[in-house]
């Protein structure tokens, strides 16, 4: 793992200090990152779960969207400091999320994350 990968690794391992999450499988690759994360005790509800209560604009605190924004921002700043390229884009704009439906789905996702680096041969 190179220095940029270590920045991503350190930031991911410490994300639970800022969000009510438990980390599961994750994998850092040269050009992307996969992770499985669990929000604890309903504290990090998604926008969809909260939409019935009221219309909300922007990113809700403690949501998956907030976690991803924070993670990308922190890692991009650190990587750009190291490269001396302030403000340069590090991550793609969006991210992909998938709701785990059952135990089999969980096992498939965990396996996919673990095996992903070997798929790019």
- Locate the DSSP E strands across 29-75: 33-39
pLDDT at 102: 96
- Model confidence, pTM: 0.81
User: Domains plus CATH for the chain?
Assistant: 3-119 (3.30.70.1290)
DSSP string covering 72-92, please? HHHHHHHHHHHHT-TT---S-
Per-residue pLDDT of the chain (121 residues; tens, 9 = 90+): 999 999 999 999 999 999 999 999 999 998 899 999 999 976 545 444 444 445 556 889 889 999 999 999 999 999 999 999 999 999 999 999 999 999 999 999 999 999 987 665 4
């Amino acid at each position: 793992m190179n220095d940029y990968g270590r920045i991503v690794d350190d930031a991911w391992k410490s994300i639970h200090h800022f969000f009510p999450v438990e980390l599961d499988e994750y994998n850092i690759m040269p050009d992307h990152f996969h992770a499985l994360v669990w929000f604890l005790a309903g504290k990090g509800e998604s926008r969809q779960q909260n939409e019935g209560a009221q219309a909300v604009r922007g990113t809700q605190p403690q949501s998956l969207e907030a976690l991803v924004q924070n993670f990308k921002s922190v890692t991009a700043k650190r990587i750009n400091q190291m490269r001396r390229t302030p403000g340069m884009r590090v991550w793609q704009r969006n991210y992909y999320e998938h709701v785990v439906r059952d135990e089999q789905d969980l096992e498939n996702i965990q396996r996919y994350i673990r095996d992903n680096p070997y798929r790019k041969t």
